[in-house]
A and B are shown apart, each in its own frame.
Chain A
Amino acid sequence: MHKKSLGMKIFTIFNYTFLTLLALTCLLPMINQLAISFSSSSAVAAGDVGLFPVDFTLDSYKYMADKPEFWKSLMVSLKRILIAVPFSMIICVLAAFPLSRQDHEFPARKYYIWMFVVPMLIGGGLIPTYIVVRNTGLIDSIWALVLPYTVNVFNTILLMNFFRSLPKELEEAAYVDGATHWQVLVRIILPVSKPVLATVTLFVIVNHWNSWFDGLIYLNSPDHYPLQTYLQTQVVSANLMALESLRDIRQIGMISDRTGKASQIFLAAVPVLMIYPFLQKYFTAGIVMGSVKG
């Protein structure tokens, strides 16, 4: 280990080069979009923009700054996350704790766990879910984007496995001292579960940030759409459009405004990319222990 063999050196050089190239291929399309967002629309239309902006301009960002819909939907997304994250975390942690008990301590566990696994495999489909959401009075409310997704089975399993992997000694001692389940969860388990909590929080944020279809079907007006739903209405391909608006000459003026789209794509990814490094350090432990039973 101390003295590197020649083979090892060659490998190291290869490794650095390879990984750098790999990472670059991942970055290029994003850089291309970024370059497009800083270029003039005519240069983009002519296909001149590669990895660097052509006719550098901030027009599309200025345009975006003036676009109230963009900011409105950004606020909706933030609100959604502020509600969904604590709500989802509390309920999933509360569910994961009993599920992490030993079978002999909590015999009902093995029935409960299947109740969580089944929905992962079979869904009711769009319409029945829509009808339930409607009948629970959530249409056009932010809760329609929160409640149906609160219990995330994958996240619950991750939490459960993490709890199971913790050393048993501490909680045993607490139980002997007469602690209740609540006290064990809050005083013993949670303080040492930061990694998995951070990981699951990131997952919840990313899920909510990126989902768009639910916003479209449960909300009644584009004014109420979260950011990704709004972007979807702006960015999707203009193909079918042509036919639909054919009747109405005045609407055909719409052109695929690619610089605007690119800047919106970029702006929408920024918040998640910014959160990621902060949570990254917890990520490791969270995932490892969440998936490996101790």
Chain B
Amino acid sequence: MKKTWKITALATAITIMSISVLGCGAKDNADTPASPAKESESGTEKTETEATESTESTDTAESADSGAASGDRVFTPYEETVEISSVKNLGSGVLEFPEGDSLEDNAWTRYLEETLNIKLNWNWSTNSEQYAQKVNIAITSNDIPDVMQVNSSQLKMMYDNEQIMDITDVMSENLAPYTEEVLNSDGGIALQAATFGGRLYAIPKIGSPLLTAKVLWVRTDWLEKLGMEPPKTVEDMRNLAEAFTTQDPDGNGADDTYGLAVYKDLYGSGYADLTGFFNAYNAYPSCWIEKDGGVVWGGVQPEVKEALTALNEMYNAGQLDPEFGVKDSNKVNEDVSAGRFGMMFGDFWNMAWINDAKINDPTFEWIPVAIPALNAGTPAKAQLSASTTDFYVISAECENPDAVVRMLNLQLEKSYGETAEPTVFNITPEGFGVYQYPAVALEPPMKNFTAAQKVSAVINGEAQTDTLNDEELGYYEMAVKSLDGDHTNNNWHQLKMFGPNGSLSVMFDEYWTPGNVVNDAYYAAPTETMTEKLPTLKKQQLQDYTSIILEGNMDKFDEFVINWNKLGGEEITQEVNDWYAAR
């Protein structure tokens, strides 16, 4: 499968090259054989319009000052207005617009109409909490807009239902080089996840797998009080957990502190998430890992048993909240804010949830460190999950799929490309997040890490603020305010992410650069048995892990492994290995 994609990619590259080098005539030739039979009826008509566009494109290409190959036809307007319908995920809060603007009429929609003559129509919009639900309804009632953002199981379902278009050819004909570069920046893994039977069915909303790595957050005001150092090894971490529990780090005379924050579902939320703890023991409980030339489920490996043994010891020693088993991550967050915990594993953004506590008590201070090593000298490897969880699909009934691809080209180019205008299309000087307005939007996956490095360099006095773009400047300004003691408006949280030794720098320097990462070895759409049995298996795993931590009955783990295989795990492993071998 991967091979096929490579060929397609190669074809794309050749197509684009031939367009830019040879101009329109050659393009038509390259075009025709690639057209799928399905579209042949509209073929003639299409070629005509494209021919006109191409003629025009030569004019614009000459006048375009970028001079690069990207000034080709994919950035030229359609003859007649093309209407594209879509739906909008408004994000977590309310989407805000500059005075007079709206979702229907804003910088992006106007620019789209101007440059490409594409008019965007929104069928509906809702907040992220409800978005998946509305998409499910749209899919099941067959109310599909031209382009829609979906998650991986929805993608699989729509593919099975034949509701979405094979976009292999549309993509190869219309992709701008920069868009292609971004889409392939993870080595084609994300595109692979959107490929069925060798054909591409969706545009992956590519993300950086590195962002899913966990760090260990440690309370430094407690460290100082006890005269201890941030942990480097598992042993350090265990000692620290004990000290935080028994030595009254908050100095209130009461035995009310715990070493490590844990929540009821153990891992997956990204906050007080034990994934990092397991990783420290070389265990990877929620992903497929490569082992002995094949692929195995990390959750049933013997290393997990060691991590669970450790957790049970910590539980018995009172280093975990005895009631963690009923607390969800919001509840744990209340306890962390109230100063009950000294360490927690989690995502790079965790300080966002306790920024209020920092405002309340400025001495409250945390730092992120890399996952501690089991043996000093052998750094732990961080588990990376499939980072691409969302996809843009084009309806099987969409009349202008090429327009969707061109919208995407334009979005990437004007936001992050050479001709980018971040103050117009990313964040306005007044703080409006224009980047949230388009129907299809990607971003270069590693840009947050680049931003962290640049911001840190300026704070450390190694560079000037003029090296920062507007977005980075925003982070820099917030971080500096926090350094000056103003922690409000999430300033402190930004400092903890983008600042020197912030979470993003830790992840980049300690995991990415030295290659201390473990990728999820399975990244295709879920298999038949997975959809059917994985929820049950996951439930079983959680239930048994929890009871092992609480009761310390280690035989139960071996029992769990046997059960796991019996309840469908073996079957799924077989399917995954078949996929792995055929890759």
Contacts and interface: CB of A to CB of B under 8 A. Distances in A.
A243 B490 contact: no
B398 interface: no
Interface in A200-246: 216-217, 219-222, 232-233, 236-246
A246 B270 contact: yes
A41 interface: yes
A168 to B, nearest CB: 49
Contacts of A241: 92, 128-129
Contacts of A45: 334, 337-338, 354, 356-357, 360
Contacts of A232: 129-130
A243 B205 contact: no
Nearest to A229: B130
A124 interface: no
B143 to A, nearest CB: 7
Interface string A44-55: 111100000000
Contacts of B356: 41-42, 44-45, 255
A256 B332 CA distance: 13
Contacts of A140: 124
B184 interface: no
A127 B142 CA distance: 10
B449 to A, nearest CB: 11
A253 B207 contact: no
Contacts, number: 129
A242 B269 contact: yes
Contacts of A233: 126-127, 129-130
B260 to A, nearest CB: 19
Nearest to B350: A242
B141 A239 contact: no
Nearest to B359: A42
Given A43-B360, A127-B141, A247-B207, A242 B270 contact: yes
Given A130-B141, A247-B207, A46 B357 contact: yes
Contact of B128 (A42, A126, A134, A244): A244
A216 B141 contact: no
B133 A216 contact: yes
B34 interface: no
Interface in B329-361: 329-330, 333-335, 337-339, 347, 349, 352-357, 359-361
A217 B137 contact: yes
B416 to A, nearest CB: 14
Interface in B376-398: 387, 389-390
Nearest to B334: A47
A121 interface: no
Best-buried of B91, B133, B328 by chain A (most CB within 10 Å):
B91
A220 B125 contact: yes
A64 to B, nearest CB: 13
Contacts of B448: 249
A259 to B, nearest CB: 10
Interface string B124-166: 1111111001100100110100000000000000000000000
Interface residues of A, number: 43
A5 interface: no
A24 to B, nearest CB: 24
B141 A222 contact: no
Interface string A135-172: 00000100000000000000000000000000000000
Interface in A89-143: 126-127, 130-131, 134, 140
Contacts of B4: none
B94 interface: yes
A240 B270 CA distance: 9
Nearest to A133: B141
B93 interface: yes
B271 interface: yes
Nearest to B355: A255
Best-buried of B339, B353, B448 by chain A (most CB within 10 Å):
B353
Interface of A: prevailing SS: helix
A47 B335 CA distance: 8
Contacts of A252: 349, 352, 493
B360 A46 contact: yes
A77 to B, nearest CB: 18
A62 interface: no
A243 B269 contact: yes
A250 interface: yes
B123 interface: yes
B497 interface: yes
Given A42-B356, A46-B337, A222-B90, A250 B433 contact: yes
A47 B338 contact: yes
Contacts of A222: 90, 94, 125-127
Contact of B141 (A47, A134, A219, A251): A134
Contact of B490 (A47, A220, A237, A253): A253
Best-buried of A41, A45, A222 by chain B (most CB within 10 Å):
A45
A254 interface: yes
A59 interface: no
Contact of A239 (B123, B130, B330, B338): B330
B423 interface: no
Contacts of B93: 251, 254
B473 to A, nearest CB: 13
A246 B349 contact: yes
A240 B141 contact: no
Given A237-B330, A242-B269, A255-B352, A46 B338 contact: yes
A222 B131 CA distance: 11
A98 B422 CA distance: 68
B211 A247 contact: yes
Given A42-B357, A243-B269, A244-B128, A217 B134 contact: yes
Contact of B353 (A69, A247, A255): A255
A246 B357 contact: no
A239 B124 contact: no
A45 B338 CA distance: 7
A260 to B, nearest CB: 11
12 contacts: A42-B360, A221-B124, A222-B90, A222-B127, A239-B330, A243-B269, A243-B389, A244-B128, A245-B92, A253-B352, A253-B490, A255-B352
Interface of A: 41-47, 69, 126-127, 130-131, 134, 140, 216-217, 219-222, 232-233, 236-256
6 A-B pairs with the lowest CB-CB distances in the bound complex, closest first: A42-B360, A220-B124, A45-B356, A47-B338, A252-B349, A45-B337
Given A45-B338, A240-B129, 14 more contacts: A45-B334, A46-B339, A127-B137, A220-B125, A221-B125, A238-B330, A241-B128, A242-B270, A243-B269, A245-B128, A246-B347, A250-B435, A252-B352, A254-B93
